[in-house]
Chains A and B, each alone.
Chain A
């Protein structure tokens, strides 16, 4: 690799598009919190945020400003460097996956050959943010939350990998761009129809991976106050929230790519290239919020039982069936 003007140009282009992607996704994450509050309020027959701007539309910006201006308290008993790194680890591991997802035919930030594996690797690394914050906080609530979260993330990781492996088996590639193309060439156009079981497993484990209701045991307010980030305040606390919502966006985008045909739609819409991708993404995010407003929290043994005794065997059976059908047909 030489320092030529051409490669420099390519590097600058990549950096600028990464920045744009980051800003757009940050905007989405901010308004995802607003959408969540509004939708849950509507489901629970409340009004939701309605003071800042018309219909409360500026609420996320006000929240961000408030969190930035709050005092950043570091409790005296904590392990300082680990305490400071943990939220960043969470955020980076949750957000980086977005770079690998093909948002459009001609737009993917990094067309990595084993993109799907890399996203799985990142989501397995995101367990560190939770474990480290739980340990470094030097608090019982945080430690328990961290233990719960890491056990949960590790067990559901396996189910998620199994469900994605059957997609890989059907597409014959780990490259996300190739997976979308293989879907479009298949008779159903989307893998949701032949792989409905895999989609179910993926979705349940995605809920568990991002610590969302009904699997929000690590941050169960009624038992653990707030779980692993109970000692955090101000902007560091906001980083954990940001990581959770980034995780939701990445998991939904992965589901769109692997099961719902990615950027393709029933007909072309001129001028708006990302239209179908965003529509599918918003729909899945809405389901996330809908589930949160509807379901109660699982008990811990139920959570582990669901993961190990139902989802993983189901995923294995689905994988075998997929392989068998692929050999026979």
Chain B
């Protein structure tokens, strides 16, 4: 077993164990923190795969922005109710069905992957090693995937406009009540 394997196994453990802990911990803030640990390990995994840009983006977007907002929300609202066991158990039937479906899908994908293994070759171009990772991603985003890239931009713009619209409506309601 060489260093690469050791690092990979460490990262795999570092992602699965916090994932499980995030699900089973009662305290919502602790759950968010376990997700943070998970995301940091995920970023490291991306780094070991040679993708520096995605590592940085993973930390900035998920750890630095999304999770902070999550933390904000669980911080502001009192979640004592969810800490009680009964709320969790009441809908366990639906949960079990969902778990069954997920496990089924998981095995299905694993079997597909295993069938692929002999034919599987990384489809990365050889100039990946020459140019920096960032240059490579940028080149593909602005040539090959330009349409998708622009579409995502438009979708995000719509989200921002929606937020502004809702805020404006709220303000109008507030002004009327006075």
Q: Is the CB of A135 within 8 A of B60?
A: no
* Closest B residue, CB atoms, query A154: B68
Q: A1-B4, A128-B36, A150-B72 are in contact. Are A114 and B53 (CB under 8 A)?
A: yes
Chain B binding surface SS class: helix
Measured CA separation A174–B72 after assembly (Å): 31
The answer to whether B68 touches A147 (Cβ under 8 A) is: no
How far does the alpha carbon of A131 sit from the alpha carbon of B60 in the complex, in Å? 17
A contacts, CB < 8 Å to B: 1-3, 79, 82, 112-114, 117-118, 120-122, 124-125, 127-128, 131-132, 135, 143, 146-147, 150, 154, 157, 174
Q: Is B75 engaged at the interface, CB distance under 8 Å to the other chain?
A: yes
A-B CB proximity, top 4 nearest? A124-B64, A117-B56, A121-B59, A1-B3
Report whether A127 and B68 are in contact in the complex, using a CB–CB cutoff of 8 Å: yes
- List A contacts of B64 (CB < 8 A): 121, 124-125, 127, 157
Known: A2-B3, A112-B52, A150-B71. 10 other contacts (CB 8 A): A82-B30, A117-B53, A118-B59, A121-B56, A128-B71, A131-B68, A135-B75, A147-B75, A154-B68, A157-B64
Please provide the chain B residues from 55 to 79 with a CB less than 8 Å away from any CB of chain A in the complex. 55-57, 59-60, 63-65, 68, 71-72, 75
Report the separation of the CA atoms of residues A48 and B133 in the bound assembly, to the nearest whole angstrom. 52
Interface size class of B (residues with CB under 8 A): 20 to 34
Say yes or no for B132: interface residue by CB 8 A criterion: yes
Mask of B1-28 contacts with A, CB within 8 angstroms, 1/0: 0111000000000000000000000010
Q: Are B134 and A114 in contact, CB atoms less than 8 angstroms apart?
A: yes
Contact of A3 (CB < 8 Å), options: B2, B27, B72, B134: B2
Q: Is the Cβ of B36 less than 8 Å from the Cβ of A174? A: no
Q: Which of B4, B27, B63, B72 contacts A124 (CB 8 A)?
A: B63
Q: Cα distance A264–B4 when bound, in Å?
A: 39
A1 touches B2 (CB 8 A): yes
Tell me which residues across on chain B come within 8 A of A3, comparing CB atoms. Answer: 2-3
Which of B33, B59, B63 lies in contact with A82, CB distance below 8 A? Answer: B33
